């Protein structure tokens, strides 16, 4: 362990940071070259600012020393171009006189880290370079830590996703009549979303939201969930808790934040008589209104222990009857159009998830 850490430290110490200097006076470049090659830095000097821009575009450098007054481009113009494709390069501006330095506003806008007057002695410049390299090291360390944290969060979120999938399968495996229900609701919701031209990120939210919309039923007793007789008022009240339970289960992971409104509100009704919040009309999240329609359609067209699947015409009539009360009327019209003109897609989904 100690040997490994020592090797790591040796590698870090032996790492050479790359510095590029851009100045149209060859004498300055030569002086910088002699001075910096005595250090542990790798140095490249260029007199043509246009060539320097292309070199930085193709090659990695950690720090740039840049003359301000140059031809054919001034230093601020060079930085303007570089910042279009490289936001991380540490830049120190060199000026013949401090009065010739660009305004502070320009320095901040272009994210120039500092400037230094040219001199025969390079002591001040070396201090600025060393300070810059320390900042670069810190930024690299922060970037490394952030990447490791992102990787850890990704693994954690994937583990949570796998766990919730397992819960979903557990819920549906309890009742043979509801197997495939969430998959079908997901697919129906996507059909509606595509029909009305929702963007891809919302289509994805609909897809995942449909899969997990009933996840809260894991918290409902089997004696109620699997009961074939009519539920008592108390039992029905218990069932109505499943959207809130589902939202609570998913609330622990940030990856589910976009689908929680679907999970929590897919049993709201357009007239405000749904649950758990009694939201009305536009108060109901839009994607939840889509999922509510898909959920009810699948419930009506699926066989249950107490009845067979309803005839398609009866289902259409019921959706038509409940426009503006249970369902968003515009979305109901969209879905009725799908049932009328694209029913082959509905049949494909039903056959896929029997």
The verdict on residue 168 lying in a domain is no
Q: Are residues 190 and 130 in the same domain?
A: no
Q: Are residues 287 and 209 in the same domain?
A: yes
The verdict on residue 320 lying in a domain is yes
The pair of structure tokens assigned to 100 is 């010739």
pLDDT of residue 348: 94
Domain of 82?
A: 13-140
- CA gap 43, 12 in Å, rounded: 18
- CA gap 56, 33 in Å, rounded: 18
Q: List beta partners, residue 67.
A: 94
- CA gap 191, 346 in Å, rounded: 9
Decide if 268 contacts 327 (C-beta within 8 A): no
Among 18, 58, 137, 217, the active-site one is 217
Decide if 260 contacts 250 (C-beta within 8 A): yes
The verdict on residue 165 lying in a domain is no
The verdict on residue 252 lying in a domain is yes
DSSP string, 97-109: SGGGSPPHHHHHH
Q: Are residues 180 and 124 in the same domain?
A: no
pLDDT of residue 99: 64
Q: Are residues 68 and 184 in the same domain?
A: no
**CATH number, position 257:** 1.10.3210.10
Last residue of a domain, one of 98, 125, 140: 140
- CA gap 52, 112 in Å, rounded: 17
Q: Are residues 126 and 66 in the same domain?
A: yes
**CATH number, position 132:** 3.40.50.2300
pLDDT of residue 13: 40
Q: Are residues 203 and 83 in the same domain?
A: no
pLDDT of residue 177: 59
The verdict on residue 245 lying in a domain is yes
Decide if 28 contacts 69 (C-beta within 8 A): no
The verdict on residue 147 lying in a domain is no
Q: List beta partners, residue 115.
A: 93
What are the respective helix, strand and coil percentages of the chain, to the nearest 5? 60, 10, 30
Which H or E element spans position 11? helix 2-14
Look at the chain and report how many structural domains it folds into.
2
Q: Are residues 205 and 346 in the same domain?
A: yes
pLDDT of residue 87: 87
The verdict on residue 1 lying in a domain is no
Decide if 270 contacts 329 (C-beta within 8 A): yes
pLDDT of residue 60: 93
Q: Are residues 86 and 192 in the same domain?
A: no
Calculate the CA 319 to chain-centre distance: 36
Examine the residue annotation and report whether 134 is marked as an active-site residue of this protein: no
The verdict on residue 8 lying in a domain is no
pLDDT of residue 4: 39
pLDDT of residue 162: 81
Task: Give mean pLDDT in consecutive 10-residue pieces for the chain, a chain of 354 residues.
Answer: 39 68 90 84 92 94 90 88 91 75 75 79 83 85 76 76 78 71 94 96 94 88 81 86 88 83 96 94 97 96 81 95 96 96 93 86
Q: Are residues 205 and 116 in the same domain?
A: no
pLDDT of residue 15: 66
pLDDT of residue 176: 63
Looking up tokens 């066989």 gives: 303
Q: What is the pTM of this model?
A: 0.60
- CA gap 90, 113 in Å, rounded: 6
Q: Are residues 96 and 194 in the same domain?
A: no
Q: Are residues 180 and 321 in the same domain?
A: yes
pLDDT of residue 125: 85
Q: Are residues 196 and 114 in the same domain?
A: no
Specify the length of the chain in residues.
Answer: 354
Is 194 in a helix, a strand, or coil? helix
């Amino acid at each position: 362990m100690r040997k490994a850490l020592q090797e790591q430290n040796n590698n870090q110490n032996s790492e050479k940071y790359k510095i590029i200097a851009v100045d149209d006076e060859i004498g300055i470049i030569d002086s910088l070259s002699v001075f910096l090659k005595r250090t542990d830095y790798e140095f490249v000097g260029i007199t043509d600012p246009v060539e320097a821009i292309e070199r930085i575009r193709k090659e990695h450098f950690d720090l740039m020393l840049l003359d301000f007054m140059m031809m054919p481009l001034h230093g601020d113009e060079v930085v303007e171009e570089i910042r279009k494709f490289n936001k991380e390069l540490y830049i120190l501006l060199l000026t013949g006189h401090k009065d010739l330095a660009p305004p502070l506003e320009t320095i901040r806008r272009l994210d120039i880290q500092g400037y230094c007057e040219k001199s025969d002695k390079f002591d001040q410049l070396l201090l600025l370079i060393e300070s810059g390299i320390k900042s670069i090291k810190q930024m690299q360390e922060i970037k490394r830590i952030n990447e490791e944290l992102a990787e850890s969060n990704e693994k954690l979120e994937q583990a949570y996703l796998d766990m919730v999938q397992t819960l979903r399968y557990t819920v549906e495996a309890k009742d043979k009549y509801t197997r495939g229900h969430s998959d079908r609701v997901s697919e129906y919701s996507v059909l509606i979303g595509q029909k009305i031209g929702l963007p891809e990120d919302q289509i994805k939210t609909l897809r995942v939201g449909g899969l997990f919309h009933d996840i809260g039923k894991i918290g409902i007793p089997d004696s109620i969930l699997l009961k074939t007789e009519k539920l008592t008022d108390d039992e029905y009240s218990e069932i109505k808790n499943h959207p809130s339970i589902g939202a609570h289960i998913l609330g622990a992971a940030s990856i589910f934040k976009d689908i929680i409104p679907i999970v929590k509100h897919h049993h709201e009704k357009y007239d405000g008589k749904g649950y758990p919040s009694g939201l009305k009309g536009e108060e109901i999240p839009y994607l939840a209104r889509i999922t509510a329609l898909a959920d009810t359609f699948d419930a009506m067209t699926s066989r249950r222990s107490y009845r067979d699947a309803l005839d398609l015409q009866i289902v259409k009539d019921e959706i038509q009857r409940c426009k503006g009360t249970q369902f968003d009327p515009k979305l109901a019209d969209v879905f009725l159009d799908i049932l009328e003109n694209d029913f082959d897609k509905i049949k494909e989904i039903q056959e896929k998830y029997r």
